Structure 1
């Protein structure tokens, strides 16, 4: 990923927090030279000194087979809020642009055992269900529902390289920066408002 120096993020703890907040990612692999992508909820884990991205996809999805064929070249992409930035928000004439947050992770993929997959599903359900009134936790599911695990394939990706870009108008002067935040709040779409919140937190 091309990252101008103003926008490069290297703090791993900050990147990890971003991944955990924006955990719906995109996995990209290749089959016979053609890129294949799947959009999935993905979780971040540490095991010993290594970091992993875990998830699952439908057995019918052919992409998981590329993890066996070329498991050394897996790209995982995460996207945060993004929005158009009008040059009319600057004090002096310039060109419009687009602000965004993005993280790319390169790694090695492997297929989980059924036991590993079950353990991963237990953690996934705890993350998204435990605060709900009638949580659909693993232990609350019927044996019939649990059998559907046969229809999915679990995988884990050992992280080898991380690239992170936060393009948040860091290269603008202070007046422009705060004016961009104010104008983003005025926009109607939720992405613009969410981006304004991110920029405000980075003040």
Structure 2
């Protein structure tokens, strides 16, 4: 991923936290030179000193076959993003787009049935534990679970490299930066508001540092 120096994320803990909070990712592999992508809910887990991206996909998904070639896999995670009008700058310039994204490179392997069950248990726990009537693994009937397990395949990707882009107008002066935040709040879409909040948090953090 091309990342200008202004926008390159280097803090590993922040990158890992970003993946946890934006865990609906895109897995990209290749088959006979043609890229294949699938959008999936994923998990970040740590085993010893090694991090893995885990998940599952439909058994009928042809992308599963590419995992067996033991070639490099790309996983992409995206956060808030928003259009930035250059009319918000004091000096003349061109429009741009602010965004956050993380690319993870690694090698994929297939989970056995027991590891897949454990991964699904953790996934349900993550998204259901706070609900009034949580749908957890041990609350579902064995018959239903066995039927569903036959239709999916689990995988884990050993994380070998992470690249993070945080394009949040860091290259603008303070006056422009504040104005961008205010203008984003005036926009009518949720992405712009999320970007404004993110930029505000970054400004507060930078001032404390």
Task: Note whether the superposition's TM-score is higher than 0.5.
Answer: yes
Is 2:65 the counterpart of 1:65? yes
Give the aligned partner of residue 2 of structure 1: 2
SS of 2:172's equivalent? Answer: coil
CA distances 1:69-127 after superposition (whole Å, capped 9, x unpaired): 2x231000000010100000001111000000010000000000000000000000000
Give the aligned partner of residue 207 of structure 2: none
**Structure 1: tracts of 5 or more residues without a match:** none
Give the aligned partner of residue 51 of structure 1: 51
Taking the aligned partners of 2:144 and 2:169, their CA distance within structure 1 comes to: 48
Give the aligned partner of residue 74 of structure 2: 75
Give the aligned partner of residue 122 of structure 1: 121
Q: TM-score, normalised by structure 2?
A: 0.96
Taking the aligned partners of 1:197 and 1:118, their CA distance within structure 2 comes to: 37
Q: TM-score, normalised by structure 1?
A: 0.98
Give the aligned partner of residue 36 of structure 2: 36
Taking the aligned partners of 2:7 and 2:175, their CA distance within structure 1 comes to: 19
Runs of 4+ in 1 over 6 A off after TM superposition: none
Taking the aligned partners of 2:48 and 2:15, their CA distance within structure 1 comes to: 19
CA shift, 1:144, in A, is 2.2
